[in-house]
Amino acid sequence: MVVGDFPEEVDTLIVGAGPGGYVAAIRAAQMGQKVTIVDKGNLGGVCLNVGCIPSKALISAGHRYEQASGSDDMGIVAEKVSVNWDKVQEWKGQVVNKLTGGVESLLKANKVDIVKGEAYFVDQNTAKIMDDKQSQTYKFKNCILATGSRPVELKPFPYSERVLDSTGALNLKEVPGKMVVIGGGYIGTELGGAYASFGTEVTILEGTKDILGGFEKQMTQLVKKRLKGKGVDIVTEAMAQGVEETDNGVKVTYEVKGEEKTIEADYLLVTVGRRPNTDEIGLEEVGVEMDDKGLIKVDKQGRTNVDSIFAIGDIVDGPPLAHKASYEGKIAAEAISGEKSEIDYLSMPLVVFSDPELASVGYNESDAKEAGYDVKVSKFPFAANGRALSLNDTDGFVKLITRKSDGLVIGAQVAGPSASDLIAELGLAVEAGMTAEDLALTIHAHPTLGETVMEAGDLAIGMPIHTMK
C-alpha cells in the first residue's frame, strides 16, 4: 500500500538551523507564526558544531596551556606541564553539546517543529524535505533560507587525512609537530595561533602583503608580534602551488618573489574562504536571483526577488559572521510578520580571536575619511590601564573615530585583551548616536579593562587623565 505525500502547511519554513536559522525560527514563532525548521545536520550549524564555538574552546585551552607553562615575569615557574589531547577534545565536545542541546530546548519551548532532512524547492511556496527514507512536501506562506557556507576547496589541495579544512583541523587526534596553513585570514590565524600555543611549529602562507586583511596595519602588527613569539613563521605574498602527501605528512610547494620553495609538515590546513550553500536546493527552479558567486540577492529586509522567500547569513552579501546571520534572521522574521524592520550594518562588529584579540565597529580612520568625514582619532593604550598591567597583558589600544564637528562616535577599533567583549559598548555608542563626551561621562568600575573606553572618550574631548594629549 502506497501512502500519499499529503502536504504539511506552515506559516514559515526555515531552511538551515545555524545561528541565522534557529534565531529566525524563534523570533518568527514569538511573533505568532507556525514555524518549521529543517536541517540535514546538527542543530546549531557550522558555528556551534565545527566553527565558532569549538575553535574558541581550542583557543582558550591553548591559552591555559601557555599560562600553566609559566609566567616568569610574574614569578610563576612551572615544570612538566603536559597536554592530555584526548581530554582537550573531550572537553571541547562537551561545550558544543551543551550549546546544541540548548538550541533544541529553545526551539521546542517556542513550539518550533524540528525536521531532519534536505530541502528542495518545487515552486515559490512549496518544498520537499527528504531524508534517507522518505520525502515530505511542505506548503509555506514564507520561507527563510539560512543554509550557510562550506570551505572553499582548491583543486591543487584536495581535502584528505593530511590536507584539512577547518573542521578537520578542529578534530585532529594529536597535537601536530608541524603544520602549514594556507591563508592568513581570521580562520587561518585563529587556528594556526591555537596550535602554536600548544607547541606546534606553524607556517602561515598568505598570498597578499599582510595577514588579516580588513584590519589596520597597527592592529595586525600586534598579532604578528605575538605569533612570531610563539614560533610561527609568516610568509606573505606567497602563492601555494601544490601538495604531495607522504607516508606520515605533507610536502607543500609555494612560490615567493619568483622563487619556488618546499616545506614539509604533518598537516596542511587550507583556509582560503567559504562558498555559499545555494546549489542543489532548487532555487533556480523558482527563479531566486543569485550573483556569479552563488550569493542570493536580497533587499534591506532579507527578501529575495521572490516575495515569499527570504535569505540570511553566509548566503547573502557581507562577511560570513554568525552574529550577522542572527541579526538578519531577526529582521527577516519581523518583516514576514509585517514589521518595518530593516538591516543596518553600521554597528556590525568584526572580531578576530587572535592573540591579542582584534575588534572593529563602524568606520575605521581611512574609511571615514573616504566617506567624507572630518574626523578626530583618539587612541588610548592598554599599557596605561591598571587592569591590563595586573593581567600582564598590555599590548594594544582602544581607538575612537569621532566626528570633529560634534564628537559623534562613528567608529572604534580595539586591539588587546578582551577586545571581543569591549567592542560591544563601542558598538552601542555607534548604534545609539552617542558622543565621545557620553563615553567620558559614563562611570566605569576600577580597575577594569572597560576603563580604556572611558579614557579614550576623555582623550577625544581633549581632557585625558591617564595619558598625555
Is residue 328 part of an annotated ligand binding site? Answer: no
What are residue 375's DSSP bridge partners?
Answer: 403
Q: Residues near 230 by Cβ (< 8 Å), separated by ≥ 6?
A: 193, 196, 197, 202, 355
Is residue 189 part of an annotated ligand binding site? Answer: yes
Is residue 360 part of an annotated ligand binding site? Answer: no
Is residue 314 part of an annotated ligand binding site? Answer: yes
**What is d(CA 74, CA 141) in angstroms, rounded to the nearest whole number?**
62
**What is d(CA 240, CA 362) in angstroms, rounded to the nearest whole number?**
34
Between the alpha carbon of residue 289 and those of residues 52, 127, 279, 295, 316, the distances in Å are 29, 17, 12, 9, 11
Is residue 188 part of an annotated ligand binding site? Answer: yes
Catalytic site residue from 63, 323, 444, 446: 446
Amino acid at position 20, single letter: G
Is residue 190 part of an annotated ligand binding site? Answer: yes
Is residue 161 part of an annotated ligand binding site? Answer: no
**What is d(CA 253, CA 244) in angstroms, rounded to the nearest whole number?**
8
Residue 396 φ/ψ, nearest 5 degrees: 115, -170
Residue 446 annotated to the active site? yes
Is residue 273 part of an annotated ligand binding site? Answer: yes
Is residue 41 part of an annotated ligand binding site? Answer: no
Q: Are 152 and 273 in contact (CB under 8 A)?
A: yes
Is residue 187 part of an annotated ligand binding site? Answer: yes
Is residue 56 part of an annotated ligand binding site? Answer: yes
The three-state DSSP-derived secondary structure of the chain is CCCCCCCEEEEEEEECCCCCHHHHHHHHHHCCCCEEEEECCCCCHHHHHHCHHHHHHHHHHHHHHHHHCEEHHHCEECCCCCCCHHHHHHHHHHHHHHHHHHHHHHHHHCCCEEEECEEEEEECCEEEEECCCCEEEEEEEEEEECCCEEECCCCCCCCCCCEECHHHHHCCCCCCCEEEEECCCHHHHHHHHHHHHCCCEEEEEECCCCCCCCCCHHHHHHHHHHHHHCCCEEEECEEEEEEEECCCCEEEEEEECCEEEEEEECEEEECCCEEECCCCCCHHHHCCCECCCCCECCCCCCECCCCCEEECHHHCCCCCCHHHHHHHHHHHHHHHCCCCCCCCCCCCCEEECCCCEEEEEECCHHHHHHCCCCEEEEEEEHHHCHHHHHCCCCCCEEEEEEECCCCEEEEEEEEECCHHHHHHHHHHHHHHCCEHHHHHHCCCCCCCCCHHHHHHHHHHCCCCCCCCC
Amino acid at position 344, single letter: D
Is residue 186 part of an annotated ligand binding site? Answer: yes
Residues making up the annotated binding site for FAD are 56, 147-149, 314
Residues making up the annotated binding site are 56, 147-149, 183-190, 206, 273, 314
Residues making up the annotated binding site for NAD(+) are 183-190, 206, 273
**Active site residues per annotation:** 446
